Amino acid sequence: MLIALNYKMNGRKTFHLNQLETIKKLNKKGTNLVLCPSFVFLHLFKFKNKNIFLGAQDIAAVNNGKSTGQTSAQMLNEFGVKYVIVGHSERRKDGETDEQISQKVKNAIENNITPIICVGANADEDVSKTLKTQLKFALKHVKTGNNIVVAYEPVWAIGTGRTPTVKEINFAANLIKKQLEKSKINAQILYGGSVNDKNFNELKTANIDGFLLGGVSLETKKLVKIISGV
């Protein structure tokens, strides 16, 4: 199972240091963790652990040059980042385009960083149609053999306490798998959106490979319950 933690723009230095001490001790066999803190805290996460990987929350769509405030794929790779979240709905809402997302995925792969591609529809959108369009762009430069992760995150489930049913998650996961098969791409599929220690046992019965956690990443006790219960 793959569990990725998206801390978003949360957490302070002491919080991360304390939580890391706890997480490092868990060492759950067969479970890989990807920790995605803010850029300024990435350095706190530089330690050796074969089950814990460093993730970033974004990556530049261009590779170098006049892009104030951006961080390139080469820079992230050089720093030791192994995964990057791409196309999160909070970034799409801020104007990130499908074209930029496909470029970010390409840059990540070319620099040995596994993109965690987020897809998901708003409540008033057609799930199949939205996922197909988002995937079409996101997979544009992905080739057979590339390592990618796709996270299904319905926009209405993020931070709301509402989750889809297992049946709805399976529907979306199947749709994603079919689209991947068409392009002969293998990927791990995650679910994200209001996952917590209470609904985790139910949600983990879905036909997926893991989870992308948001808010619960900030609650160490609940997080430990989730990771230990895998």
Specify whether the CB–CB gap between 70 and 104 falls below 8 A. no
Whole-angstrom CA distances from 218 to 6, 26, 177, 222 are 9, 16, 31, 9
Whole-angstrom CA distances from 195 to 43, 84, 163, 164 are 27, 20, 8, 10
Residue 16 annotated to the active site: no
Name the H helices within the chain.
Answer: 13-26, 73-79, 89-93, 98-110, 127-138, 166-182, 200-203, 220-228
Please pick, among 88, 141, 168, 181, the residue that the annotation labels catalytic: 88
The region of 27-35, 120-128, 181-189, 208-216 touching ligand 13P under the rule CB under 6 A is 208-216
The region of 12-20, 40-48, 62-70, 207-215 touching ligand 13P under the rule CB under 6 A is 207-215
CA distance 24 to 50: 10
Q: What is the three-class DSSP state of 148?
A: strand
Among 195, 223, 226, 227, binds ligand 13P (CB under 6 A): 195
Please pick, among 16, 90, 96, 153, the residue that the annotation labels catalytic: 153
Q: Is residue 96 involved in binding ligand 13P (CB under 6 A)?
A: no
Q: Which is nearer to ligand 13P, 88 or 92 (CB)?
A: 88
How far apart are CB 184 and ligand 13P at their closest, in Å?
27
Q: Which is nearer to ligand 13P, 11 or 215 (CB)?
A: 215
Residues in contact with ligand 13P by CB under 6 A are 6, 88, 153, 158-159, 192-195, 212-216
